[in-house]
């Protein structure tokens, strides 16, 4: 291979984060901030001495995804209109973690609000950055089993969410047809499947 910027993966020294120089934060300016969005423009200094300004950062609350699986292995999906893309999107139950809330509690709350279901068994599937280049938030994905529908939905006036169960093969087909059409949720589908296989 060509010489240069090569690494060995995985890196045994990863936890230290010392093997790659980070950018230096110089200053931050708020571009727009209200209860829905917080966009800031930072000035930064790169390790090579180059200045970058503006570099835009979206401060965002963490998100939860819930992959709820019934006794036949079917997964609980939601369907709702997604405005920015102007598309009806089939996904997993999901939502924001409120300030001070634990991610697992947010997952339980969102599952119940969007579908009326509760679950006896909860497992963490992954915690990972939603988009570490631009956003400050992580996604916490949970696998929920032993489901019981304990009530109806509890939606905001602005929410219109349908729900239903589908087999894994059907969901994979829906990725191909564009019915299950949100990349973040494709990650949660496959990562939860991996976890389910380990449990068997």
Quick check: 10 binds a second copy (CB under 8 A)?
Answer: yes
Q: Which is nearer to a second copy, 14 or 121 (CB)?
A: 14
Which of 62, 113, 118, 170 binds a second copy (CB under 8 A)? It is 170
Whether residue 10 is preceded by a cis peptide bond, meaning omega within 30 degrees of 0, is yes
Task: Report CA-CA distances (Å) from 126 to 48, 51, 63, 157, 188.
Answer: 34, 35, 12, 31, 8
Residues of this chain, 99-158, that bind a second copy according to CB under 8 A = 116, 126-136, 139, 149, 151-153, 157-158
Task: For the segment 60-79, give every residue that binds a second copy (CB under 8 A).
Answer: 77, 79
| 95 lines the binding site for a second copy (CB under 8 A) | no
* Minimum CB distance to a second copy, residue 26 (Å): 12
Rg (CA), the chain: 20
Task: Report, in Å, the least distance between residue 46 CB and a second copy.
Answer: 6
Rounded Cα distance, 73 and 63, in Å: 24
Q: Which helix (H) or strand (E) holds 29?
A: strand 24-33
Q: Give, in degrees to the nearest 5, the angle at Cα 87 between 82 and 93.
A: 45
The answer to the question of residue 22 lying near a second copy (CB under 8 A) is yes
Q: How far apart are CA 104 and CA 75, in angstroms?
A: 19
Nearer to a second copy, 48 or 71 (CB): 48
31 binds a second copy (CB under 8 A): yes
C-alpha 95/C-alpha 7 separation (Å) is 36
The least distance separating a second copy from the CB of residue 168, rounded to whole angstroms, comes to 11
- For a second copy, which is the closer residue by CB, 79 or 145? 79
Closest CB to a second copy among 7 and 72? 7
């Amino acid at each position: 291979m060509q010489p240069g910027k090569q690494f060995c993966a995985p890196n045994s020294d990863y936890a230290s984060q010392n093997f790659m120089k980070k950018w230096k934060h110089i200053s931050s300016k708020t571009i727009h901030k209200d209860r829905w969005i917080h966009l800031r423009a930072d000035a930064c200094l790169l390790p090579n001495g180059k200045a970058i300004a503006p570099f835009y950062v979206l401060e965002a609350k963490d998100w939860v995804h819930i992959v709820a699986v019934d006794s036949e292995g079917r997964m609980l999906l939601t369907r709702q209109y997604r405005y920015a893309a102007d598309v009806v999107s089939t996904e997993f139950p999901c939502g924001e973690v409120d300030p001070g809330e634990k991610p697992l509690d947010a997952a339980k709350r969102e599952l119940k609000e969007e579908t009326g279901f509760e679950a006896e068994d909860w497992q963490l599937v992954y915690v990972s950055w939603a988009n570490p280049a631009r956003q400050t938030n992580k996604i916490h994905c949970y696998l929920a089993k032993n489901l019981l529908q304990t009530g109806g939905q509890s939606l905001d006036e602005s929410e219109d969410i349908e729900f239903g169960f589908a087999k894994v093969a059907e969901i994979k087909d829906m990725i191909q047809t564009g019915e299950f059409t949100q990349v973040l949720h494709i990650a949660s589908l496959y990562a939860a499947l991996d976890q389910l296989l380990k449990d068997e």
